[in-house]
Structures are given as C-alpha cells and as structure tokens.
Amino acid sequence: MIDVTLLRQVYELHPPADPADIAAAQEDLGKAIPPAYVELLAISNGLSAMGGLTLLEAEDIAQRNRDYEVAEYLPDYVMIGDDSGGVAILMKQGAETIFEVDMGVMDESDIEVSAKSLEELLVDFAGKTLRERR
C-alpha cells in the first residue's frame, strides 16, 4: 500500500474515486484493474506529476484503453496513464511492475520497464517517467 503521507509531500491529491466508479470502470474495461492501481484510486482519483505523468481517473480508464486499442495489441495490460508526450503508462495483469510504451506502437516487444511498482514510480522516482529520468 502506498503511504498517503509520502504522496501528499509530492502531489496534490484528488478526492478518492467512488468504489462504484471503480467497479463500473472494471466492468466497462472487461477485466480487473490491477490491485495497486485500485488502491491508488481509493486514495486519489487520478494524479498528475509536475513533469508529464498523468494517471487516469477511474471514469477514464476504459475509454482510454479503447481509444488506444490496448486490449487488441496488449491484452494482458491496462493503460493507467501517460507521460503527456505520447508514451502510455501500463500495468500488466497479475504484476506490480509499471511499463511504458509509445502509444503509436503498442507492441509488447517495445515495452520498457518504468518501475518495479506504482509506489516506486510515484515516491522513489517522484513521478518522473523514463524520458525524464534519462
């Protein structure tokens, strides 16, 4: 579980997502949202870092995944946000790892590991994506 105190030091948190909105998002998506992201949604419904990282609100997850055809090209993944520069932020079903891939490619062979967990990305890396850390 991500420490809310640590998040508040770096981000302006939104009100938590309504559990009904999270359930509706999962139903609309047709699969479970990774548990670590559900935990974040229960703390803050979406999140933006000072750089480019934007994490999606519960209400936007299914639509964004449809828009970028994530289920077709990366069926084991859920897009949870982006870097505001054309790179998707993803989580794989059954894993804590955070991945990044160019939204124009959406191919598993082009995916890069961004962080070993959502907490590492948000706390240890202060929300900086791979492009910002390089």
Domain 4-126, CATH: 3.40.1580.10
Query: pLDDT of 62-106, one tens digit each?
Result: 999 999 999 999 999 999 999 999 999 999 999 999 999 999 999
What is the percentage of the chain residues whose pLDDT exceeds 90?
A: 86
Residue 62 is predicted with a pLDDT of 97
CB 127 within 8 A of CB 51: yes
pLDDT of amino acid 70: 97
What's the full length of the chain, in residues? 134
Residue range 98-133, pLDDT digits in tens: 999 999 999 999 999 999 999 999 999 999 999 999
Q: What is the mean pLDDT of residues 8-23?
A: 93
pTM: 0.94
pLDDT of residue 55: 97
Helix ranges (H only) for 30-80 are 35-43, 58-67, 70-73
Residue 2: its pLDDT value, please?
Answer: 85
Q: Which helix (H) or strand (E) holds 37?
A: helix 35-43
Between CA 91 and CA 31 the distance in angstroms is 13
Whether 1 shows a pLDDT value over 80: the answer reads: no
- pLDDT value of position 49: 85
The continuous run of DSSP H or E covering 54 comes out as strand 54-55
What does the block give as tokens for 45? 């419904």
CB 104 within 8 A of CB 82: no
Domain boundaries, the chain: 4-126
Q: Is 10 exposed, middle or buried (0-12, 13-18, 19+ CB in 10 A)?
A: middle
Position 50 scores a pLDDT of: 78
118 phi/psi in degrees, rounded to 5: -65, -40
